[in-house]
Amino acid sequence: MTRFFRNIRGVVFFAGLTANTIFWFIPIIVFAVVKLLMPIPILRRAITRTLMAIGENWVSVNVWLMRYAGSVRIESHGVDGLRRDGWYLIIANHQTWVDIFILQATFNRRAPFLKFFIKQELIWFPFLGVVWWAMGMPFMKRFSPSYLAKNPHMKGKDLEMTRRACEEFRDTPTSVLNFIEGTRFSEQKRADRKSPYNKLLQPRAGGFAVALSSMGELFNSIVDVTLVYPENTTRFWDLCCGQDVHVIVDVRERQLERWLVNGNYESDRVFRKDLHSWLSDVWKEKDAVIVRIVKEKRNGDVS
């Protein structure tokens, strides 16, 4: 019976999220179509700002549901210095689907509306795929090494698609989120990929480098986010069913050094090596933060 009522709660919570999405779906699509057909740049920018305001309202209701209909406790550090009129490149580790909701709750109305890289296949996801397109999310298509071996003319096309998507962000303050590991963490993936980190997978630099080369001069800073679930990593359905979710969000602004913006990731081998080295150092720090917080939690030092 406990499991039955838990699942009923999950259905009701998920229905609330769905209803909220459907409610905002119509105005988002209407404004997105008008923007698509609008030839006047100043009006297109005004419509973009309207879309971002609608998106913030959508996220605000989701956050309310998480905190009061669910059982989510977010402990964030380092977000107070961000501005809503800035441009930020956000890099984060990826633990679970819940991460998206946690990051939206953390940054909503504290920084520009969060845009994140999405696999191109997810554009067909019911409702959300169209909403993500309407909100200007950058869709990425990664080609496997085997595909590129058979189709060498497609080399670099995936990065070019990402670059074109990032160009859309130049006119409006934006927070661009990149889960640099490319997929959610698991111990199995860590072992399969021979990751040198305790709680992370190796960072992948491609999308990060393209965002830097496309609009790096606009970014105020790089925002390094470390997501830590001290007790356990929560699945999305567990969140819906009311499982207690405690997450610590450690936010650190990093200065955007000029060499990061000026390098050419595709053709400059030295820059590529230096960028990988820079990300490796960031990931070592991030891994140490996760290990420390989990250890402190087990010792009863983290609330």
What pLDDT score does 182 carry?
Answer: 85
Indicate if the pLDDT at residue 8 is higher than 60: yes
What pLDDT score does 143 carry?
Answer: 62
What pLDDT score does 71 carry?
Answer: 87
Q: Which residue has the higher pLDDT, 186 or 141?
A: 186
What pLDDT score does 38 carry?
Answer: 85
- pLDDT tens for each residue of 227-285: 999 887 788 998 999 888 899 999 999 999 889 988 888 788 999 999 999 999 999 99
Beta strand 72-77 pairing with 221-228: unpaired
Indicate if the pLDDT at residue 155 is higher than 80: no
- pLDDT tens for each residue of 280-302: 999 999 999 999 998 887 777 54
Which residues make beta-bridge pairs with 223?
90, 253
Indicate if the pLDDT at residue 159 is higher than 80: no
What does the H/E/C string look like for the chain?
A: CHHHHHHHHHHHHHHHHHHHHHHHHHHHHHHHHHHHHCCCHHHHHHHHHHHHHHHHHHHHHHHHHHHHHCCEEEEEECCCCCCCCCCEEEEECCCCCHHHHHHHHHHECCECCEEECEEHHHHHCCCHHHHHHHCCCCEECCCCHHHHHHCHHHCCHHHHHHHHHHHCCCCCCCEEEEECCCCCCCHHHHHHCCCCCCCCCCCCCHHHHHHHHHHHHHCCEEEEEEEECCCCCCCHHHHHCCCCEEEEEEEEEECCCHHHHHCCCCCCHHHHHHHHHHHHHHHHHHHHHHHHHHHHHHCCCCC
Average per-residue pLDDT for the chain: 86
30 is written with which tokens?
Answer: 């209407």
What pLDDT score does 303 carry?
Answer: 46
What pLDDT score does 144 carry?
Answer: 64
Closest CA to 285 of 247, 250, 248: 250
- Residue 188 CA, chain-centre distance (Å), reads 22
For the ranges 14-18, 164-168, 170-174, which has the lowest average pLDDT? Answer: 164-168
Mean pLDDT of 68-96: 91
What pLDDT score does 286 carry?
Answer: 95
Indicate if the pLDDT at residue 39 is higher than 90: no
- pLDDT tens for each residue of 205-216: 887 887 888 777
Alpha carbon of 16 to those of 31, 98, 122: distances in Å?
Answer: 24, 16, 22
The model carries a pTM of 0.86
Alpha carbon of 181 to those of 132, 204, 207, 288, 302: distances in Å?
Answer: 21, 6, 10, 16, 26
What class is the 73-298 domain?
Answer: alpha beta
Q: At what angle do helices 269-298 and 206-215 cross, to 10 degrees?
A: 110
Mean pLDDT of 101-107: 94
What pLDDT score does 156 carry?
Answer: 64
